Amino acid sequence: MNVLFIGDIVGLEGQEYVEEVLGRLSSRQKLDLIVANGENAVHGRGLNRKAAERLYDAGVEIITLGNHTFDQRELQEFIDEDARIIRPCNYPPGTPGGGFTVCKVGKKKVLVINVMGRTFLSQLDCPFRTVDAILEAHPDIKHVIVDMHAEATSEKLAMGWYLDGRVSAVLGTHTHVPTSDERVLPQGTAYITDVGMVGPRDGILGMDRDIVIGRLLSQMPARFSVAKGPRQFHAVLFELDEETGRAVNISRVPVYEP
Ligand SMILES: [Fe+2]
Ligand SMILES: [Fe+2]
């Protein structure tokens, strides 16, 4: 089973580049599942219906989120009705939406989990114990993909090692900067600390750099907007054993607009 996981999609620029890159990806016909993090899809903040539909049309099948999940109020109106969109599972009980979803790839069930770290982020429930509980509730599913949305590299590495051999992949999101530590851990879990992002390359994490620098210099509030210019596409491609769900390999798939 070949899976493509796309890092945080930033703004309309990011949505359009996902469409463009997926449209001409040479390995596209071999892909069995495409998952993407959509927490920044609308002006860098959150997800709405229109953006979700656009990503589905481009080929994305499951959308994960993060700390920007509820930045677009509209999401609350439909997240409970669309099982293809998941938000971090360790939000408090009663939060709209779900933290995992089960989809079918051929005859196999695939469990996709979104979880958020707590270092330099909101103090949600324990990410480790919350994932444990989801895994315990799905003992029959061997293909499990975890989007670990976190700031700290240490917390993401801890999740990778904690789940090694129990899930197929632990993929870090949120920092928008791809790391070069992709590997298959000893017990068969594909891992990367951060997948990266899709959107403008010459901004700061996809946002207009002058506004970000201005805010850092002045310490005054300023409204960020998505940067302009050439775009980048960061994703990872990994193969899972059909029977065991163990990862066979993982590689980065970077695409840069000239
Ligand atoms: Fe993000
Ligand atoms: Fe984030």
Q: What is the DSSP string of 128-178?
A: HHHHHHHHHH-TT--EEEEEEE-S-HHHHHHHHHHHBTTBSEEEEESS-S-
Taking alpha carbons only, the member of 107, 15, 103 closest to residue 61 is: 103
Q: Which residues pair with 8 in a beta bridge?
A: 197
Evaluate if residue 155 carries a pLDDT over 80: yes
- Binding-site positions read 8, 39-40, 67, 149, 174, 176
Fold of 2-256: Purple Acid Phosphatase; chain A, domain 2 (3.60.21)
Structure confidence at residue 212 as a pLDDT band (50, 70, 90): very high
Structure confidence at residue 217 as a pLDDT band (50, 70, 90): very high
Residue 130 alpha carbon to ligand 2 centre in Å: 19
Are 192 and 250 in contact by the 8 Å Cβ rule? The answer is yes
Per-residue pLDDT tens over the stretch 100-148: 999 999 999 999 999 999 999 999 999 999 999 999 999 999 999 999 9
Q: For the chain, give every domain's residue range.
A: 2-256
E-strand ranges in 16-127 read 33-37, 62-64, 85-86, 100-105, 108-116
Report, as an integer, the average pLDDT of 59-87: 98
Please report the pLDDT score of residue 14 as a whole number: 98
Structure confidence at residue 243 as a pLDDT band (50, 70, 90): very high
Please report the pLDDT score of residue 29 as a whole number: 77
Residue 108 alpha carbon to ligand 1 centre in Å: 30
List 68, 138, 143, 234, catalytic entry: 68
Evaluate if residue 25 carries a pLDDT over 90: no
Cα–Cα distance for residue pair 41/51, rounded to 1 Å: 7
Taking alpha carbons only, the member of 33, 5, 2 closest to residue 240 is: 2
- Binding-site positions for Fe cation read 8, 39-40, 67, 149, 174, 176
Evaluate if residue 58 carries a pLDDT over 80: yes
Residue 65 alpha carbon to ligand 2 centre in Å: 8
138 is catalytic: no
Report, as an integer, the average pLDDT of 221-243: 97
The secondary structure of residue 13, as a DSSP letter, is H
- Looking at the CA of 66, name the nearest ligand: 2
Taking alpha carbons only, the member of 242, 240, 239 closest to residue 251 is: 239
Are 174 and 231 in contact by the 8 Å Cβ rule? The answer is no
Residue 79 alpha carbon to ligand 1 centre in Å: 18
CB-based contacts of 232: which residues, under 8 Å, 6+ apart?
17, 196, 197, 198, 199, 200, 201, 254, 255, 256, 257
Residue 177 alpha carbon to ligand 1 centre in Å: 10
Residue 33 alpha carbon to ligand 1 centre in Å: 21
Evaluate if residue 28 carries a pLDDT over 80: no
Side chain identity, residue 239: E
Per-residue pLDDT tens over the stretch 34-55: 999 999 999 999 999 999 999 9
Structure confidence at residue 26 as a pLDDT band (50, 70, 90): confident
Residue 80's Cβ-count burial label (10 Å; 0-12, 13-18, 19+) is exposed
Taking alpha carbons only, the member of 252, 79, 83 closest to residue 181 is: 252
